A and B are shown apart, each in its own frame.
Chain A
Amino acid sequence: DIQMTQSPSSLSASVGDRVTITCRASQRIGRLLNWYHHKPGEAPKLLIYGVSTLHSGVPSRFSGSGSGTDFTLTISSLQPEDFGTFYCQQSYSSSITFGQGTRLDIK
């Protein structure tokens, strides 16, 4: 299986902060990388697919970048509703895997 490792595992930030979450794959996965946002008690939501394409309706403060093995999710100006856990996911392998998640708390 391709292992996906996210860092940090958790962070706390203030409204208006710029937040960056990284995801590293155990082997090269091209651009087959997606990001999700999951709030407790809700369904996970697709944020970004194919490294950098925003899903319909996702605010432009979210952006993604990277290629090969190293990827980044950036929130340009953190909003109160952005709390929750963020996951990366690779679809390069037929055995799909997610990162362990990054929990984001609002200070």
Chain B
Amino acid sequence: QVQLVESGPGLVKPSETLSLTCNVSGTSISSGGYYWSWIRQHPGKGLEWIGYIYYRGNTYYNPSLTSRVSISLDTSKNQFSLEVKSVTAADTAVYYCASCREVPAAAPFDFWGQGTLVTVSS
């Protein structure tokens, strides 16, 4: 079973870059079959897909965030990372990493990390 654990600073200053890492165990992120994903939940709100990266490095981002977001793989550490540039208070949220199965076609997010709260404040 795939397990995911998010890590990173819980507090980021406005205009700076938010950086999070997701450590994966139970499978190799370079073995294929998954899109490695980031999803967030603003306080009291629903889930928002941020983007994902395929094991070959192809990335797909939410159009509303694509100018500020970057997702990358580190296969040597079996982890993937998220960067959100020029953050504002609107980026305050719980950030989840998740595995998104390539097959079946519905591509569900089948395993999730516990989530990490990131607050943007000076």
- CB within 8 A of B112: which of A31, A33, A45, A101? A45
Which B residues are CB-close (under 8 A) to A33?
106
Name which of B21-29, B46-54, B67-75 contacts chain A. Answer: B46-54
Residue of B nearest to A94 (CB): B60
For A, the interface residue count at a CB cutoff of 8 angstroms equals: 29
Shortest distance between the CB of B2 and any CB in chain A (Å): 12
Name the interface residues of A17-58: CB closer than 8 Å to any CB of B: 31-34, 36, 38, 42-46, 49-51, 53, 55
Residue of B nearest to A87 (CB): B47
- CB within 8 A of A98: which of B48, B60, B112, B114? B48
Q: Is residue A72 within 8 Å, beta carbon to beta carbon, of the partner chain? A: no
Which B residues are CB-close (under 8 A) to A1?
63
Q: A50-B104, A50-B105 are in contact. Are A42 and B46 (CB under 8 A)?
A: no
Q: Tell whether, in the assembled complex, residue A99 and residue B46 are in contact, meaning their CB atoms are under 8 Å apart.
A: yes
Q: Is residue A89 within 8 Å, beta carbon to beta carbon, of the partner chain? A: yes
Residue of A nearest to B105 (CB): A32
Shortest distance between the CB of A89 and any CB in chain B (Å): 7
Shortest distance between the CB of A77 and any CB in chain B (Å): 24
Residue of A nearest to B49 (CB): A96
Q: Is residue A100 within 8 Å, beta carbon to beta carbon, of the partner chain? A: yes
- CB within 8 A of B106: which of A32, A42, A99? A32
- CB within 8 A of A100: which of B46, B111, B115? B46
Q: Is residue B121 within 8 Å, beta carbon to beta carbon, of the partner chain? A: no
Interface string of B32-56 (1 = CB under 8 A from A): 0000000000000011110000000
Residue of B nearest to A32 (CB): B106
Question: Quick one: which of B63, B107, B111, B113 has the most chain A CB within 10 A?
Answer: B107
Q: Tell whether, in the assembled complex, residue A49 and residue B106 are in contact, meaning their CB atoms are under 8 Å apart.
A: yes
- Cα distance, A98 to B108, chains bound together (Å): 12
8 nearest CB pairs, A to B = A49-B108, A43-B112, A50-B106, A96-B49, A91-B107, A34-B108, A98-B47, A101-B46
Interface residue ranges, B against A (CB under 8 Å): 46-49, 60, 62-63, 96, 104-115
